[in-house]
Amino acid sequence: MKHSFLQKAAAAALFVLLTAALLAAADFLLVDDVHSYSRVMLQELYRDAGNIDTLFLGSSHCYRSVDPAAVDAALGTHSFNAGSSQQLPDGSYYMLKEAAAQNDLKTVYLEMFYTGYNESASSNVPLACYLLVDHMNALSPNRYEYLWEMGGLAAFADLLLPARHGIASLSGMPALWQAKLADGYTTDSYRYVTYEDSGEAYRGRGFVYTAGIPQDGFATLLNVDPDAPLSDFGWEYLNKITDFCQENGIQLVLFTAPLPSGYLYNTQNYQAYVDALQDFCTAHAGLEYWDFSLYRLQRDLNLKIEDFSDAHHLNGAGAEKFTAILC
């Protein structure tokens, strides 16, 4: 009986080891995380642990709009831009908790592009979650709480096999393997997150510099429902972020990066979103909301069409103008 038990235990252990080896091989061969802004951003976030006092959170409208180097030069801070593509309110919440666990944060700026706060659930955009949890510390409880709230057990399957949501192109695999075996994960090298053809380049501490000007007009992504300018999901995590900052003595500032006037013109009931956030701030002493699309001193911003890369993102030149005014 004892011999039989040992055989079964050994077989189970061998199965686990083989499965782990196969998953690791699939990850190496198939998953392109070398060309990932969020991978480099999180590597730098952990490297800067203990030094960050000012944190920026939000979607691509955050990491394409605010340059931490310019912020620090103006304000004498040590800031970090923890924005990520399509970052939803729950992603901002868990990135806030992850950063606060390692740093004595003084101020958090939460970029409030309205589409994310009108999603009904995080599971509608699972990639927004995977872009972060794939590169979070494996021992971080925030990683698993975020993953569970986004997709439950099914999401953990994707964590075990990232190739299901991040597979590389067949033609690019040989170069990818070479990069992984060489300097693909070197923290201070941005060669794999610099794209000369498209004019995009990662510039450090989460900031992505973008070239180009709008080519396809200013059609809106989403109109605002005046009766529900934020979804229940949006309100839930805005409250969680606000409460967390209040409980931990962190100053929270809500802001929206500038949008082209043509985009706003094509977005119905946008003012309802602004009013809802201003009312929220009124109900929370010390909280402010700044919408730079509606900034009264637009001449100070001096933004032109050539300062935007598309219908609703600033390019690098626009980001530098905006960062100066934000400071």
Full set of structural domains in the chain with CATH: 31-326 (3.40.50.1110)
CB 51 within 8 A of CB 247: no
Q: Report, as ranges of residue numbers, the positions in the chain whose pLDDT lies below 50.
A: none
Tens of pLDDT, residue by residue over 79-90, are: 999 999 999 999
CB 68 within 8 A of CB 79: yes
Taking residue 5's Cβ as centre, other Cβ atoms within 10 Å add up to: 9
Specify the pTM.
0.93
Q: Where are the alpha helices (DSSP H) in 126-216?
A: 126-133, 141-160, 163-166, 173-181
pLDDT at 71: 98
pLDDT at 165: 67
Q: H or E segment at 96?
A: helix 89-100
Residue 271 one-letter amino acid? Q
User: Among residues 306, 304, 218, which one has the least CA distance to residue 264?
Assistant: 218
Which residues are CB-contacts of 167 (< 8 A; sequence separation ≥ 6)?
A: 30, 31, 32
Length of the chain, in residues: 327
pLDDT at 86: 95
Q: 55-65 burial, b if ≥16 CB within 10 A, otherwise e?
A: bbbbbbbbbbb
Residue 142 one-letter amino acid? N
Q: Tell me the C-alpha distance between 149 and 115, whole Å.
A: 20
CB 54 within 8 A of CB 79: yes
DSSP state of 186: -
pLDDT at 157: 79
CA distance readout (Å), 167 to 28, 30, 85, 158, 170: 10, 5, 17, 12, 9
Q: Tell me the C-alpha distance between 158 and 151, whole Å.
A: 10
Tens of pLDDT, residue by residue over 182-201, are: 888 888 789 999 998 888 99
Which residue reads 């701030």 in tokens? 281
